[in-house]
């Protein structure tokens, strides 16, 4: 009688499969969560780059926000038991029965993710994309270690009347922008920041947050740093005897005791950075992109305004060494993986996008994509 042995083997196999299945959940959580994390960052960067390229071509941007990722897993185990008997008869001898059993094990694994996106438009688009970036946001990022020159170059249109390429906050202008004095100003501010002289703080007054630029420990600074501070005060028309100046979110300068700042919207920042896109010459020749002209007539080089904060290349072939790349109008557009300045600016724009997020109604219906069978 082999059936008890067969039953015992069946139970052993069942317990073995059951034990394996109980360990599958944690393993899936560890592996799949990291995979989704990496893919989300990749898609987010590609979307941002695609919209920068679109703006350079005068096309409409579109942002899809990831709303949720819901993934279902199923594991089905199966055991197919079979037995067959062979009769053996040699030269008329009595037949002998030989019974053989076989177990076939099977496992079916299925993943059914559902990914939901929200098109950013309507009230949400206006609040996040079209609203001016607040000075408090710039302060928060500055206190987090971001360069004051990078922040001001991207986010500010002018300070105390000093223009920072005003027309660059929209579609590519025909004539070269005014930016030289502002560029010199933020360079000096950066030197003061690195020397630990410049700090930006927010204080509460009458229930409202007020932001200040403070120059501290000036008397202990070396002559070079003091010369930079003198330049800053001269550019901004500040009181030479004061070391604390309120930042006013205003387009009009009032006096020598405060600094009026007019900021770009997030869309203005994206338009500004879109001028870092270097379209192919054939697209320029066909009039697919606007070309800014200098006063002397030749094409204006936007790297004079942007410096090395952002460079977006283009080419026919997909790059092998890119940080992020997208295909648009039969060409590849990309940021090099070793271009640390462009990558830092890319990260800063994503932080600005997150900080500009607004809670509330006005979201459009969800676009839900079933990514599994």
**What whole-number distance in Å separates Cα of residue 154 and Cα of residue 273?**
8
Confidence band, pLDDT 50/70/90 cuts, at residue 27: low
Asked if pLDDT for residue 96 goes beyond 50, the answer is yes
Asked if pLDDT for residue 158 goes beyond 80, the answer is yes
274-312 tens-digit pLDDT:
999 999 999 999 999 999 988 777 889 999 999 999 999
Read off the pLDDT of each residue in 93-105 and give the average, rounded to a whole number: 62
205-215 tens-digit pLDDT:
676 778 888 99
> Regarding predicted confidence, which is higher, 178 or 354?
178
**pLDDT at site 373:** 36
Confidence band, pLDDT 50/70/90 cuts, at residue 337: very high
Asked if pLDDT for residue 124 goes beyond 80, the answer is no
Read off the pLDDT of each residue in 165-174 and give the average, rounded to a whole number: 93
In which region does residue 111 sit, left (phi positive, over 0), alpha (psi from -120 to 50) or beta (all else)?
A: beta
Confidence band, pLDDT 50/70/90 cuts, at residue 361: very low
- Write the secondary structure of 158-216 as one string of H (helix), E (strand) and C (coil): EECCEECCHHHHCCCCCECCCCHHHHHHHHHHHHHHHCCCEEEEEEEECCEEEEEEEEC
**What whole-number distance in Å separates Cα of residue 308 and Cα of residue 316?**
23
- Percentage of the chain with pLDDT > 70? 77
Asked if pLDDT for residue 21 goes beyond 60, the answer is no
Side-chain half-sphere CA neighbours of 25 within 13 A: 4
Handedness of CA 315, 316, 321, 325 (dihedral sign): positive
- Percentage of the chain with pLDDT > 90? 44
**pLDDT at site 89:** 58
Asked if pLDDT for residue 369 goes beyond 50, the answer is no
Residue 328, strand partner residues: 331
Cα–Cα separations (whole angstroms), residue 69 to 58, 72, 113, 168 = 33, 10, 7, 37
**pLDDT at site 257:** 86
Confidence band, pLDDT 50/70/90 cuts, at residue 41: confident
**What whole-number distance in Å separates Cα of residue 23 and Cα of residue 207?**
54
Asked if pLDDT for residue 88 goes beyond 90, the answer is no
Please calculate the CA angle 135-346-320 and round it to the nearest 5 degrees: 175
Confidence band, pLDDT 50/70/90 cuts, at residue 114: confident
> Regarding predicted confidence, which is higher, 115 or 318?
318
**pLDDT at site 36:** 75
Phi and psi angles of residue 178, each rounded to the nearest 5 degrees, phi first: -95, 125
> Token digits for 228?
């930079």
Of the spans 128-132, 270-274, 359-363, which averages the highest pLDDT? 270-274
- Cα Dmax for the chain: 124
> Regarding predicted confidence, which is higher, 137 or 220?
137
**pLDDT at site 327:** 97
């Amino acid at each position: 009688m082999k059936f008890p042995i067969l039953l015992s083997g069946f139970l052993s196999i069942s317990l073995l499969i059951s034990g394996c299945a109980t360990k599958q959940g944690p393993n899936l959580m560890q592996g799949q969560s990291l995979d989704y994390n990496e893919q989300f960052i990749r898609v987010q960067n590609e979307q941002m780059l695609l919209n920068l390229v679109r703006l350079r071509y005068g096309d409409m941007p579109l942002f899809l926000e990831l709303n949720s990722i819901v993934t279902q897993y199923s594991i089905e185990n199966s055991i197919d038991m079979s037995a067959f008997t062979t009769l053996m008869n040699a030269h008329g001898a009595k037949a002998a029965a030989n019974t053989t059993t076989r177990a076939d094990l099977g496992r079916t694994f299925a993943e059914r993710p559902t990914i939901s996106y929200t098109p950013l438009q309507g009230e949400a688009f206006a609040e996040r994309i079209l609203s001016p970036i607040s000075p408090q946001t710039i302060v928060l990022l500055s206190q987090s270690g971001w360069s004051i020159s990078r922040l001001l170059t991207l986010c500010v249109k002018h300070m105390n009347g000093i223009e920072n390429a005003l027309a660059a906050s929209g579609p590519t202008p025909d004539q070269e922008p005014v930016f030289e004095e502002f560029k010199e100003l933020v360079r000096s501010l950066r030197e003061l920041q690195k020397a630990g002289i410049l700090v930006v703080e927010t204080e509460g007054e009458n229930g409202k947050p007020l932001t200040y630029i403070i120059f501290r420990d000036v008397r202990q600074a070396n002559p070079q740093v003091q010369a930079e501070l003198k330049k800053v005060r001269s550019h901004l028309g500040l009181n030479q005897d004061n070391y604390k100046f309120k930042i006013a979110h205003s387009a009009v300068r009032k006096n020598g005791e405060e600094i009026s700042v007019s900021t770009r919207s997030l869309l203005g920042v994206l338009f500004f950075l879109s001028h870092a896109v270097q379209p192919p010459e054939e697209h320029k020749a066909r009039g697919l992109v606007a070309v800014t002209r200098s006063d002397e007539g030749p094409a204006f080089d936007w790297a004079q305004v942007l410096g090395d904060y952002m460079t977006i290349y283009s080419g026919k072939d997909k790059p092998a060494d890119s940080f992020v790349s997208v295909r648009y109008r039969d060409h590849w557009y990309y940021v090099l993986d070793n271009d640390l300045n462009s990558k830092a600016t890319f990260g800063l724009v994503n932080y600005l996008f997150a900080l500009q997020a607004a809670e509330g109604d006005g979201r459009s219906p969800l676009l839900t994509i079933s990514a599994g069978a």
